[in-house]
Structure 1
Amino acid sequence: MDSPAGSPANGKSKGKRIRNIISFCHDVRKRFEAGKGDARLQGLTNEVENQINAIKSYTLRSPVSTRHEQLNGAGLELWNWCTQLMRHDDDDNDHPSPIRSRFFILVRVFSFLVLSLAQWGDNHTPGDLVRLQKLAIKAGRSCIVNGELHFALLALQKAAEYNGHLHNLRDSLPKEELSACNSFESEYLTLRIVLAWKDDRLDVAEHLYGKIESLKHKLDPTSAEPIADSLFEIGRGLLARDDAARAVKWLERAYELINSQELGNLSRGGIELRLAISQALIQAYLDTNTPEGVRNAENHVAFIESEMGNKLVVLLLRLEILLHSPAEVFDSHAYADVLQRMMKNVDLSDSSFKLVLHHIRKLEDKSPGLAYSAFDDFITSRIVPTQRSDWIEQAVLIRTHMATTHRDTIQSIRALSAMLDKVETGLGQPFTTTTTLGILTLLWKKIDAKEGPLDIAQEWCRLALHSSLRQCGPSNEAKITRKLLLCALQRNDFSTALDVLDSMSDTTREEPRTMYLVYKLALANNDHEMATDYLGRISNSSPQDLRYLYACCVDAQKKNDKHITLEALRHLVRRYDDTSPGDVHLPALLRLLIRLEVSLLNEQDQTEGSRRSLIEDLCGVFEGAVAAIQRAPSDKEGQKLFTVNELDWFCKNAYNLSLKNLVRWELQHVLRILQCCLSIISQYPKDIPAQASADLSLRKMFCNFLAATALITLARCEDDVEIQLQNYLNMRQNIKQFDEAFEANIEGLNEDPRRDLQTKLSTLLVFDFEGAICLKS
Structure 2
Amino acid sequence: MATSKLMKKDLADPRVQAVLDCANTARTILQDRSTLPTALFAQIESYVKQSLPHLKSAAIADKCRDFDLVGIDLWNYSAHLLHEDGPRDPRIKVVNEVHSGVVTRVFALLLLAAAHAVSSRHNTDDPGQKIRIMKVALRASRLCLDREELELASISLQRCSDFIPVESAEDVPLIRIANNHTKDQECSHDDFGALVNEYYLLRLLHSWKSDRLDLADHFYSKISQRADCAEADMTVKQADLMYEVARSLAKTGQSDIAVKWFERAIATLDRCDAQSVTQDVEELRLCTGVAFVELLVSDERDVSHQRAWEILEQLEATHGLYNRVAVQATRFRILAAQRQIDEELILQSLLRIVKMTVLTESSFKTAMKVLRQASKVASSSSLTALAELIHTRLLPELRDTHEKDSTIQCWLEKATVAYILCAKSPASTPQEISVVGIRELLDRIKSEIPALCFTGKATHAAQTLIWQAATGPNTGEWLHLLRHPVFDNAGHLNKARVGRKLMRHAMDHEDFSAAREAFFQMPKSTQDESITRYLAFKLALQSQDDELAMDSLKVVARKADNDPTYLYACVIEAQKSSMRHMGVAALQAIVGKRPQGVNLTALLRCTARLLMTELDEPGQNLDEVALQVIEIFENAFRSVDELRKLSKDSWRTEVQWWSKNAYNLGVRLCTDIRPESTVRLLETCTSFMDNYPMEEAADLEIDIETRRMLCAYLATTALVALGRSGSEDDEYTLQGYLHAQKHIKTFKQLHAKLRRTMHGDTAVQHEQRHFSVLKFELECILRLRQWHNLEVALQACLNSNIDEHWDTLADIVIIIHDQLDTHSLGSETDTLIRDVLQRAVDHCWKAQYDIVKIARWLRFAFTLCLDHIQDDFSYKLLLQAATIAEKARSPDQPSQDLYPDAELQWLATTGFNHAVDLIAVENHTEATKWMEGALELARWVMDEGALHALFTEKRRLADERAANTRG
Mapping of residues 60-459 of structure 1, within 5 Å: 60-61=57-58, 67-82=63-78, 84-85=79-80, 88=83, 99-121=96-118, 124-164=125-165, 174-217=185-228, 219-262=230-273, 265=276, 269-307=280-318, 308-326=321-339, 329-384=340-395, 385-386=397-398, 387-388=405-406, 389-406=409-426, 408-429=430-451, 431=453, 434=456, 439-440=462-463, 442-444=465-467, 449=471, 451-452=472-473, 456-459=474-477
Quote how far apart the aligned CAs of 1:282 are. Answer: 2.9
Name the counterpart of 1:606: none
Q: Contact 1:458–1:484 (CA<8 Å) still a contact in 2?
A: yes
Quote how far apart the aligned CAs of 1:111 are. Answer: 1.6
Hey, what's the Cα distance between the residues in 2 that align with 1:345 and 1:196? 42
Quote how far apart the aligned CAs of 1:480 are. Answer: 7.5
Hey, what's the Cα distance between the residues in 1 that align with 2:60 and 2:452? 88
CA 1:651/1:248 → structure 2, altered by over 3 Å: closer, same or farther?
A: farther
Q: Which amino acid aligns with 1:460?
A: W
Q: Contact 2:607–2:632 (CA<8 Å) still a contact in 1?
A: no
Q: Contact 1:22–1:71 (CA<8 Å) still a contact in 2?
A: yes
Question: Does residue 1:56 correspond to 2:53, yes or no?
Answer: yes
SS in 2 for 1:120: helix
Question: Does residue 1:626 correspond to 2:598, yes or no?
Answer: no
CA 1:245/1:506 → structure 2, altered by over 3 Å: closer, same or farther?
A: closer
SS in 2 for 1:429: coil
Q: Contact 2:331–2:349 (CA<8 Å) still a contact in 1?
A: yes
Hey, what's the Cα distance between the residues in 2 that align with 1:205 and 1:155? 18
Q: Contact 1:109–1:139 (CA<8 Å) still a contact in 2?
A: yes
Hey, what's the Cα distance between the residues in 2 that align with 1:218 and 1:445? 59
Name the counterpart of 1:43: 39
Hey, what's the Cα distance between the residues in 1 that align with 2:72 and 2:436? 76
Quote how far apart the aligned CAs of 1:420 are. Answer: 0.6
Quote how far apart the aligned CAs of 1:139 are. Answer: 2.5
Q: Which amino acid aligns with 2:602?
A: V
CA 1:373/1:50 → structure 2, altered by over 3 Å: closer, same or farther?
A: same
Q: Which amino acid aligns with 2:392?
A: S
Q: Contact 1:457–1:487 (CA<8 Å) still a contact in 2?
A: no
Q: Which amino acid aligns with 1:459?
A: E
Q: Contact 1:430–1:467 (CA<8 Å) still a contact in 2?
A: no
CA 1:381/1:548 → structure 2, altered by over 3 Å: closer, same or farther?
A: farther
Hey, what's the Cα distance between the residues in 1 that align with 2:349 and 2:136? 49
Q: Contact 2:540–2:548 (CA<8 Å) still a contact in 1?
A: no
Q: Contact 1:635–1:641 (CA<8 Å) still a contact in 2?
A: no
Mapping of residues 659-674 of structure 1, within 5 Å: none
CA 1:477/1:105 → structure 2, altered by over 3 Å: closer, same or farther?
A: closer
Hey, what's the Cα distance between the residues in 2 that align with 1:231 and 1:590? 77
Hey, what's the Cα distance between the residues in 1 that align with 2:489 and 2:286? 49
Q: Which amino acid aligns with 1:422?
A: R
Name the counterpart of 2:638: 649
Quote how far apart the aligned CAs of 1:476 are. Answer: 7.0
In structure 2, stretches of 5+ residues that fail to align are 88-93, 174-181, 399-404, 528-532, 555-569, 616-628, 656-686, 693-967
CA 1:276/1:104 → structure 2, altered by over 3 Å: closer, same or farther?
A: farther
SS in 1 for 2:56: coil
SS in 1 for 2:57: coil
Q: Which amino acid aligns with 1:27?
A: T
Quote how far apart the aligned CAs of 1:416 are. Answer: 0.7
Hey, what's the Cα distance between the residues in 2 that align with 1:98 and 1:56? 23
Q: Which amino acid aligns with 1:81?
A: Y
CA 1:331/1:679 → structure 2, altered by over 3 Å: closer, same or farther?
A: farther
Q: Contact 1:133–1:163 (CA<8 Å) still a contact in 2?
A: no
CA 1:467/1:224 → structure 2, altered by over 3 Å: closer, same or farther?
A: closer
Q: What TM-score, normalized to structure 1?
A: 0.61
Name the counterpart of 2:867: none
Hey, what's the Cα distance between the residues in 2 that align with 1:225 and 1:18? 44
SS in 1 for 2:163: helix
Q: Which amino acid aligns with 1:424?
A: K
SS in 2 for 1:310: coil
**1:2-27, Cα deviation, whole Å (9 max, x unpaired):** xxxx9976666666655544443332
Q: Contact 2:130–2:163 (CA<8 Å) still a contact in 1?
A: yes
Q: Contact 2:38–2:95 (CA<8 Å) still a contact in 1?
A: no
Hey, what's the Cα distance between the residues in 2 that align with 1:63 and 1:535? 106
CA 1:198/1:9 → structure 2, altered by over 3 Å: closer, same or farther?
A: farther
Name the counterpart of 1:609: none
Name the counterpart of 1:729: none
Hey, what's the Cα distance between the residues in 1 that align with 2:386 and 2:39? 61
Hey, what's the Cα distance between the residues in 2 that align with 1:576 and 1:193? 85
Q: Which amino acid aligns with 1:254?
A: A
Quote how far apart the aligned CAs of 1:98 are. Answer: 8.8
Hey, what's the Cα distance between the residues in 2 that align with 1:506 and 1:680? 52
Quote how far apart the aligned CAs of 1:71 are. Answer: 2.5
Q: Contact 2:608–2:632 (CA<8 Å) still a contact in 1?
A: no
SS in 2 for 1:56: helix
Q: Which amino acid aligns with 1:174?
A: Q
Hey, what's the Cα distance between the residues in 2 that align with 1:445 and 1:278? 39
**1:336-371, Cα deviation, whole Å (9 max, x unpaired):** 433333333334455544444433332222233222
Q: Contact 1:163–1:181 (CA<8 Å) still a contact in 2?
A: no
Name the counterpart of 1:28: 26
Aligned residues: 581
Task: Please say which of residues 239-248 and 262-271 is displaced more in the overlay.
Answer: 262-271
Q: Contact 1:590–1:621 (CA<8 Å) still a contact in 2?
A: no
Q: Contact 2:479–2:501 (CA<8 Å) still a contact in 1?
A: yes
Quote how far apart the aligned CAs of 1:298 are. Answer: 1.8
Structure with the bigger RCO (C-alpha within 8 Å, sep 6+) is: 1
Mapping of residues 541-580 of structure 1, within 5 Å: 543=553, 553=578, 572=579, 575=581
Hey, what's the Cα distance between the residues in 2 that align with 1:344 and 1:265? 31
Quote how far apart the aligned CAs of 1:418 are. Answer: 0.9
Name the counterpart of 1:705: none
Hey, what's the Cα distance between the residues in 2 that align with 1:537 and 1:483? 20
Quote how far apart the aligned CAs of 1:628 are. Answer: 4.6
Q: Contact 2:608–2:633 (CA<8 Å) still a contact in 1?
A: no
Q: Contact 1:193–1:205 (CA<8 Å) still a contact in 2?
A: yes
RMSD between aligned residues: 5.2
Q: Which amino acid aligns with 1:629?
A: R
Q: Which amino acid aligns with 2:191?
A: A
Quote how far apart the aligned CAs of 1:297 are. Answer: 1.9
**1:211-262, Cα deviation, whole Å (9 max, x unpaired):** 3322135542333333333333333332233222222222322332233223
Q: Which amino acid aligns with 1:278?
A: G
Q: Which has the larger Rg?
A: 2
